[in-house]
Amino acid sequence: MSNVAKVVTGLATLQAAVQDLSRAYIAHTNTVLGRSPGTTMEMIAASTGFANPLGEALMLAPRATTPAPKADAPEEKKRKKRAHDPNAPKRPLTPYFLYMQSARQIIASDLGEGAKPGQISEEGTRRWKAMDEDEKKVWGAWACCPRVIDSY
């Protein structure tokens, strides 16, 4: 195949791809706008004077659709979820949550009656961050009590 023929074939392929894209865009736009789906490239060419520079004889056949996936292809394996034991003990609370359990009422009374739960939580977080490491270790000691989980 000569270089000229390759260029002409490439241009024809490019033109077909642009026309397919234009058709799809117009169809989508018409669907979104609620217009009839009858607008085609031929109608646009007639109204705008657009002509095929390569001539109708050089138009390639429409491209084939993408082949369907092979039937013998292995299906993706689904992960099995671990069975949840309703009798299993819950995990222990972290030191922060142990602190918040006891400090929530104190913080709410400090902020007043109109304090929202989010405000109470923010203030508790601020107080926790400002707390010394030694004080935090006290709450950590509560979290490290013998656990039922180890014996389960």
Q: Looking at residue 123, what is its pLDDT?
A: 92
In angstroms, how far is CA 18 from the centroid of its own chain? 30
Domain boundaries, the chain: 3-58, 95-151
Kindly give, in sequence order, each residue whose CB lies less than 8 Å from that of residue 104, ignoring residues fewer than 6 positions away: 120, 124
Whether the pLDDT of residue 97 is over 50: the answer is yes
Of the pLDDT bands very low, low, confident and very high (cuts 50, 70, 90), residue 124 is very high
Query: Environment class of residue 105 by beta-carbon count within 10 Å: exposed (0-12), middle (13-18) or buried (19+)?
Result: exposed
- Segment among 2-6, 47-51, 129-133 with least mean pLDDT: 47-51
For the chain, the average pLDDT equals 76
**CA angle at 68 for the pair 62 and 70, rounded to the nearest 5°:** 145
Whether the pLDDT of residue 99 is over 60: the answer is yes
DSSP letter for 57, please: G
Contact 95, 140 (CB under 8 A): yes
Q: What is residue 152's three-state secondary structure?
A: coil
Q: Looking at residue 129, what is its pLDDT?
A: 92
Q: Which of 1-5, 60-64, 135-139 has the highest mean pLDDT?
A: 135-139
